[in-house]
Amino acid sequence: MPSRLASRIFVLLLASFTAYAQGPELSKAGQEFARVHADKVILTHVRIIDGTGAAAVEDQNVVIEGGKITAIQKGADVAADKSTAVLDLRGYTVMPGIVGMHDHLFYIARPNLDSQKHSDDPLVVPQMTFSAPRLYLANGVTTMRTTGSVETYSDLNLKKDIDAGNLPGPHLDVTGPYLEGSQSYFLQMPHLTSPEDARQTVEYWADRGVTSFKAYMNITRAELKAAIDAAHKRGIKVTGHLCSVTYKEAAELGIDDLEHGFFVNTQLDPDKKPDVCSQSAGEETLAHMDPGGPEAKDLIATLVGHHVAITSTLPVFEGDLGGGRPVLRQQALDAMTPQAREDVFLVRQPRVPPRPPKIDPALLWKHDLELERAFVAAGGLLLAGPDPTGRGDVLPGFGDQREIELLVEAGFSPVEAIKIATLNGAVYMGRDKQIGSVAAGKNADLVVMKGDPSKQISDIENVEIVFKDGVGYDSRKLLDSVRGRFGQY
Ligand SMILES: [Zn+2]
């Protein structure tokens, strides 16, 4: 008992807001990374961006008890006591934890990558089971969908370990193995051979605890339909990064979500044949789709009419624009192995001699941003996630913040962009009664950052504390624990 008591009642003030008071026993992950932990936590004089798209509200108190937000009150000074931790957060903002909807637990490895961007086959995506969950949580992601798994048992067991408090990380929606067609260069994905195979694969993994599925580029319409029907029978949703099936076809088959904004719709690709991926994998369609034209209007009406969400994954495309984009963040580079860092610089080097792309990436970017805006304006549910795998410079957590900044570049207001990355994901997952906004009764999954992202969206990078179920994790401690390891495990 004495040692247990010691871990429960320390009132240490190591930094300005390290705050412990008497509280329920901390998990292993909590003991290692918690900065705020008490029976009752009161965030005082803080600015709230509540995640609903409403304007920021100045000078509020947020009361957290039993892992939940129990009250939101006008800002006032309150005294700490042995079971209450009080944080004076003048100059800080609190927003809901990010609900990352395209947040992988693996990373791309390119054997023998050179300055001509050549690399050797086979392409492999090693698991980042250690580093990725820490980077997500450190940067404010408290719930995430894995959006396609390559080591599904690792992800399922990781979820159990995080939920038990043995490891730090966000709440996980584990997506099953990618539902890919028979023709694929991805060795780690199941290559489905028939609709029956698709049905069996979905049922097998649903039985083992998977809570979402993702279809991939070469799946056929019949296989996709079988997978959707089997998943829906169990109340499980299906998303897709498609190519062989167009967005409209997938909507009509009953898919729930489509990944990568409007970048991978193939309906206008000149060589598109039914059930077969086209050469440009969607670029031709995006280049030729006038965001205000009749084809776009018809597509968006079909998607909205079928309640199909779209996941915006802007960071994974931003690098194609060149011109030093994205700006590399020192903290992200610090998280990487020397090899991963070297790959980033190789990928970003201009080709010599220059090889201009067939379609101008700036045109694709412009059309996609406008289509995402039009989709939302028409009542569509836009979700957000960085897809931290396709390029060396998109990392877990850092990429989720970048996605929000790029939604603002797309023309959404900062509070709308934050809603897309928080409440919208919760709505999609059917969890908006528990998470996704700052409101009394919801889980205390909150991000505390210095500054005011409603005025300057880059302040979203200044995360200091991330609350998950009422425990305040120290962002810097989590990042320090990863230093030099991302890209290895
Ligand atoms: Zn992805």
Question: pLDDT confidence of 168, banded at 50, 70, 90?
Answer: very high
| Ligand 1 centroid distance, CA of 161 (Å) | 24
| Ligand 1 centroid distance, CA of 313 (Å) | 9
* pLDDT for residue 390: 66
Mean pLDDT of the chain: 94
Question: Please, are residues 153 and 177 in contact by the beta-carbon 8 Å criterion?
Answer: no
Question: CA-CA distance, 146 to 131, in Å (whole number)?
Answer: 14
In sequence order, the 6+-apart residues with CB closer than 8 A to the CB of 96 are: 50, 51, 142, 418, 422, 423, 435, 436, 437, 438, 445, 446, 447
Cα-to-chain-centroid distance, residue 121? 28
Question: CA-CA distance, 461 to 442, in Å (whole number)?
Answer: 24
* pLDDT tens-digit map of 296-327: 999 999 999 999 999 999 999 999 998 889 98
| Ligand 1 centroid distance, CA of 147 (Å) | 6
Question: pLDDT confidence of 115, banded at 50, 70, 90?
Answer: confident
| Ligand 1 centroid distance, CA of 312 (Å) | 11
| Ligand 1 centroid distance, CA of 148 (Å) | 7
Question: pLDDT confidence of 3, banded at 50, 70, 90?
Answer: very low
Question: pLDDT confidence of 406, banded at 50, 70, 90?
Answer: very high
Q: What are φ and ψ of residue 63, in 5° steps?
A: -105, 130
* pLDDT for residue 19: 79
Q: Is the pLDDT score of 118 beyond 90?
A: no
| Ligand 1 centroid distance, CA of 385 (Å) | 9
Residue with tokens 């908006």: 432
Length of the chain measured in residues: 489
* pLDDT tens-digit map of 427-484: 999 999 999 999 999 999 999 999 999 999 999 999 999 999 999 999 999 999 999 9
Q: Is the pLDDT score of 204 beyond 70?
A: yes
Mean pLDDT calculated for residue range 174-198: 95
Largest CA distance in the chain: 73
CB burial string 32-52: b at 16+ within 10 A, e below: ebbbbbbbbbbbbbbbbbbbb
Question: CA-CA distance, 169 to 141, in Å (whole number)?
Answer: 9
| Ligand 1 centroid distance, CA of 277 (Å) | 17
Question: CA-CA distance, 96 to 419, in Å (whole number)?
Answer: 9
Q: What is the dihedral of CA 224, 228, 230, 235, to 10 degrees?
A: 160
Question: CA-CA distance, 462 to 428, in Å (whole number)?
Answer: 27
* pLDDT for residue 114: 86
Q: What are φ and ψ of residue 143, in 5° steps?
A: -140, 140
* pLDDT for residue 8: 39
* pLDDT for residue 395: 96
Mean pLDDT calculated for residue range 385-403: 92
Q: What is the percentage of the chain residues whose pLDDT exceeds 70?
A: 96
Q: How far is CA 299 from CA 249, 283, 302, in A?
A: 10, 16, 5
| Ligand 1 centroid distance, CA of 34 (Å) | 30
DSSP annotation string for 2-13: HHHHHHHS----
* pLDDT tens-digit map of 4-63: 444 433 333 334 567 778 877 899 999 999 999 999 999 999 999 999 999 999 999 999
Nearest to 284 by CA among 266, 300, 298: 266
Q: Is the pLDDT score of 214 beyond 50?
A: yes
Question: CA-CA distance, 335 to 333, in Å (whole number)?
Answer: 5
Question: Please, are residues 344 and 330 in contact by the beta-carbon 8 Å criterion?
Answer: no
| Ligand 1 centroid distance, CA of 66 (Å) | 35
Q: Is the pLDDT score of 72 beyond 50?
A: yes
| Ligand 1 centroid distance, CA of 386 (Å) | 8
pLDDT top residue among 355 and 400 = 400
Question: Please, are residues 418 and 382 in contact by the beta-carbon 8 Å criterion?
Answer: no
Q: How far is CA 24 from CA 131, 170, 367, 455, in A?
A: 27, 20, 51, 37
Q: Is the pLDDT score of 154 beyond 90?
A: yes
- Counting DSSP H helices and E strands in the chain, the numbers are 17, 18
Question: Please, are residues 17 and 465 in contact by the beta-carbon 8 Å criterion?
Answer: yes
Q: How far is CA 108 from CA 147, 151, 183, 428, 484, in A?
A: 15, 14, 20, 27, 16
| Ligand 1 centroid distance, CA of 164 (Å) | 27
